[in-house]
Structure 1
Amino acid sequence: MSTQDAAPTTAEPTQLLHLVFGGELQSLDGITFRDLSKLDVVGIFPDYASAAIAWKAKAQQTVDSALTRYFIVHLHRLLQP
Structure 2
Amino acid sequence: MAERRDDESEARRILERVARETAPGGASFITRTARSARDHVTAADADRSDPIEVWGTRIGRTLGLIIAIGLLAWLVYVATRGG
**TM-score of the superposed pair, with normalisation by structure 2:** 0.30
Name the larger-Rg structure.
2
RCO higher in 1 or 2 (8 Å CA, sep ≥ 6)?
1
From the two aligned structures, give the one with the greater strand fraction.
1
From the two aligned structures, give the one with the greater helix fraction.
2
**TM-score of the superposed pair, with normalisation by structure 1:** 0.31
